[in-house]
């Protein structure tokens, strides 16, 4: 099955206002740059975005925050985005902060069809407020529910026309988990190849999880904060 679309604009055309969208990446590494830009251009609003972080000012998810297209963020770390901070403090943006390991496991559970799971992370803190807790072998655990999304945006290094994906090094991060947890998964890749060109032993996301795939252009691949010796 050929799942290739002409570009990011076509890929996001069916995303309605109010949709929940997972966006892969860690910091600015492995983020779906072209899909984010296309969603900004279309002006889709009222979005709930599930992403490890909120990008930075003027890049990544920060572009959607600039245009006030995001209603709620479910994230783990948001400290690099001043606009995000201002919108949260003024009540423009709703935020659900999740411990990073719990965040990853909630997404994995969503893709695996797991109804809920117990974790000791967050027990005795505000993270546990309003959630079921249980004593297991003398330790307090918190019940966490899975995360799923209407759409998942992922960025891969190579992919074929059937949607099989390979991520490169650190850019792998949350992308494979989100690819499995999205009802409709859209993948942008740096290299688009023919079926059979990928070694099946190295495929990270099987094509069964991907509904649309597109080849991106030249990626900026910014670094959040470059540190060098003086």
CATH no. for residue 71?
Answer: 3.40.1080.10
Is 2 inside a domain boundary? no
Is 224 inside a domain boundary? no
pLDDT for the residue 175:
96
Output the pTM of the full model.
0.92
Is 162 inside a domain boundary? yes
- Residue 32 pLDDT exceeds 90: yes
Averaged pLDDT, 182-210 = 95
Is 82 inside a domain boundary? yes
Is 222 inside a domain boundary? no
Q: Are 156 and 205 in contact (CB under 8 A)?
A: yes
- Residue 227 pLDDT exceeds 80: no
Number of domains in the chain: 1
Q: Are 146 and 114 in contact (CB under 8 A)?
A: yes
Residues 6+ apart with CB under 8 A from 130: none
pLDDT for the residue 20:
97
Name the E strands within 122-181: 133-136, 139-144, 149-160, 165-166
How many other CB atoms are there within 10 angstroms of residue 49's CB atom?
A: 26
Segments forming the whole domain that contains residue 62: 8-215
pLDDT tens by residue, 74-115: 999 877 788 888 889 999 999 999 999 999 999 999 999 999
Is 225 inside a domain boundary? no
């Amino acid at each position: 099955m050929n799942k290739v679309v002409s570009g990011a604009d076509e890929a996001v055309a069916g995303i309605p206002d109010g949709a929940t969208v997972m966006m892969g990446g860690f910091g600015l590494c492995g983020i779906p740059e072209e899909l984010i830009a296309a969603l900004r251009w279309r002006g889709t609003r009222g979005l709930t975005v599930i992403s490890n972080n909120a990008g930075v000012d003027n890049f990544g998810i920060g572009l959607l925050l600039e245009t006030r297209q995001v209603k709620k963020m479910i994230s783990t770390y948001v400290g690099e985005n001043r606009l995000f901070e201002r919108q949260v403090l003024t009540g423009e943006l709703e935020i659900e902060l999740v411990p990073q390991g719990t965040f990853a496991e909630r997404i994995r559970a969503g893709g695996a069809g797991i109804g809920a799971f117990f974790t000791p992370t967050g027990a005795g803190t505000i993270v546990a407020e309003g959630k079921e807790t249980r004593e297991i072998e003398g330790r307090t655990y918190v019940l966490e529910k899975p995360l799923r999304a209407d759409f998942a945006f992922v960025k891969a290094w190579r992919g074929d026309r059937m949607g099989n994906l390979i991520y490169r090094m650190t850019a792998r991060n949350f992308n494979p988990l989100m690819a499995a947890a999205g009802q409709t998964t859209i993948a942008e890749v740096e290299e688009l190849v023919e079926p059979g060109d990928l070694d099946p032993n190295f495929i990270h996301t099987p094509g069964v999880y991907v509904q649309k795939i597109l080849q991106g252009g030249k990626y900026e691949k910014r670094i959040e904060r470059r540190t060098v010796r003086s």
